[in-house]
Amino acid sequence: MMKLAIIGTGYVGLTTGTCFAEVGHRVICVDNNAQKVVALQQGEIPIFEPELEQLIVSNVAAGRLSFTMDIAEAVRLSDVIFIAVPTPPLEDGSVDLSYIESVSCTVAELITPEMGYRVIVDKSTVPVSTGSKVLQVLQRYSSSGVDVDVVSNPEFLREGCAVDDLLNPDRIVVGSDSARALDVMRRIYQPFSAPMVETDLASAELIKHAANSFLAMKISYINSVAAVCEAAGADVEQVALGIGMDKRIQRHFLNAGLGYGGSCFPKDVKGFIHVAEQLGSPMTILHEVENVNERQLARFLNRIREKMWILGHKRIAVWGLAFKQNTDDVRESVSIKLIKQLCDEGAIVSAYDPAARITGAAALEGYDVNITEDMYSCLKGAELLIIGTEWKEFAQANFSRVSELLHLPLVYDGRNILHGENVTAAGLEYHSIGRKTMMPKS
């Protein structure tokens, strides 16, 4: 059992802290958002994440997990201090490291030689060389004689399946220039069966940016192939299957759609572009990854305009507000961007999402969108249906009911999540990404 503190109790901090407690460590989660901490202390979970609530409840009850605003006490009582605060993008695409700097300064002032050895672990996604700056801060602002090392331990969890990703990761990456700190990390991760990749500090930081950018590149690649498929009358799902069975390529992250969104890929691709440029080694390939991602939504809307002509005053239903399935997170959601664009063109939009109705409404503040409680009332009076998020429950919808409710028999699937046969059997025209339009069967 190790004594751990996690500074920043958001998606990453809360799920990581909970999973560390689940494998037997004693974890104190710290946040400076009083409302969040009080809610967690009262057993209210601030995010929608499958399996998380149950694990929090059982680990709090077992005395292994607690929540506080008192960073001083957490630092005093913990051997290892994880930093999991936001690293949002700035206007120029660079990463805002002020949260990391601020926590590093606070920790530096709190640790004393009497506390003994402390390891500071960066879990936030940061540009290469951030860890060495954190070490400088610790050396500059701590009292003399403190014994401290810095580690980079990037996180690869996906929202919507964060608990499973944390408890069963593909690999664990830890980077440090201190052998002693790496030994501490081995002990923390000893209960996990995943292979551990041990690197120097800078390489671990780079692995995170490079991994996210590579996944974003896979998505933009298949979306480019989808555009060719549309022009050639081929089927991108068949192409993805055919190339994905090559073990060197793999089928994962070859789902064509409206493009990637979320709080990570857009900012991390930008962040990697920026730091590479600063280092004089531009990652020019990533500019095209971004361009393709931007074009995806524009191409999709053009196809709808081709059919409907002017979108002003058209009643349009959109299923999906979250940036992906199994989450209520709408940060950089492509579906929200789509709805805003439809509204800007004068369309009358209604929307439904299984989990993101509240967060979606907040993101659409100022836009006149009717967010409904169930998927079918969203369709009342609508001329066409657009799928913006890949929720599995959309594929299980009753398309005869959909067909009865829609004024025109038109379904545009921006995530290739529906079964075309079910849609067309209900008398609906089915448009998707990178595949031929399927006409109604009856």
Segments of 26-79 assigned E as strands: 26-30, 65-68
Identity (one letter) of the amino acid at 260?
Y
* Residue 337 interacting with ligand UGA (CB under 6 A): no
* Residue 85 interacting with ligand NAD (CB under 6 A): yes
Q: How far apart are CA 319 and CA 336, in angstroms?
A: 11
Identify the burial level of 61 via C-beta atoms within 10 angstroms of its C-beta, where 0-12 means exposed, 13-18 middle and 19 or more buried: exposed
When the beta carbons of 326 and 424 are compared against ligand UGA, the nearer one is: 326
SS3 120: strand
Q: Tokens 């996906």 label which residue?
A: 158
Q: State the angle between helix axes of 98-110 and 130-141 in degrees (0 to 180), rounded to the nearest 10.
A: 30
Which of these, 363, 289, 354, lies nearest to 332 by C-alpha position?
Answer: 363
- Residues in the interface with ligand UGA (CB under 6 A) total 21
Identify the burial level of 306 via C-beta atoms within 10 angstroms of its C-beta, where 0-12 means exposed, 13-18 middle and 19 or more buried: exposed
Is 229 known to be catalytic? no
When the beta carbons of 13 and 360 are compared against ligand NAD, the nearer one is: 13
Q: How, if at all, do strands 26-30 and 3-7 pair? A: parallel
Q: Which two tokens stand for residue 39?
A: 């809610």
When the beta carbons of 127 and 434 are compared against ligand NAD, the nearer one is: 127
Q: Which residues contact 94 (CB under 8 A, 6 or more apart)?
A: 127, 271, 274, 275
* Residue 417 interacting with ligand UGA (CB under 6 A): no
* Residue 261 interacting with ligand UGA (CB under 6 A): yes
Smallest distance from ligand UGA to CB 267, Å: 9
* Residue 9 interacting with ligand NAD (CB under 6 A): yes
* Residue 5 interacting with ligand NAD (CB under 6 A): no
Q: How far apart are CA 294 and CA 269, in angstroms?
A: 13
* Residue 274 interacting with ligand UGA (CB under 6 A): no
Q: How far apart are CA 197 and CA 203, in angstroms?
A: 10
* Residue 37 interacting with ligand NAD (CB under 6 A): no
**Stretch of 86-94, 153-161, 173-181, 426-434 contacting ligand UGA, by CB under 6 A:** 153-161
* Residue of 22, 49, 155, 328 interacting with ligand NAD (CB under 6 A): 155
* Residue of 31, 149, 155, 230 interacting with ligand UGA (CB under 6 A): 155
* Residue of 8, 262, 388, 420 interacting with ligand UGA (CB under 6 A): 262
When the beta carbons of 62 and 72 are compared against ligand NAD, the nearer one is: 72
* Residue of 255, 326, 416, 424 interacting with ligand UGA (CB under 6 A): 255
Residue 9 partner contact from ligand NAD, ligand UGA, none using kind-dependent CB cut-offs of 5 to 8 Å = ligand NAD
When the beta carbons of 135 and 229 are compared against ligand UGA, the nearer one is: 229
Q: How many helices (H) and strands (E) does the chain have?
A: 17, 14
Residue 172 sits at φ, ψ, to 5 deg, of -120, 125
* Residue 11 interacting with ligand NAD (CB under 6 A): yes
Q: Which of 19, 29, 264, 378 is catalytic?
A: 264
DSSP code, position 80? E
Question: Residue numbers of the site for ligand UGA (CB under 6 A)?
Answer: 125, 155-159, 212, 215, 219, 253-255, 257, 260-262, 264-265, 323-324, 390
| Residues classed as catalytic | 264
Question: Residue numbers of the site for ligand NAD (CB under 6 A)?
Answer: 7-13, 30-33, 36, 84-87, 99, 102-103, 124-125, 155, 157, 159, 263-264
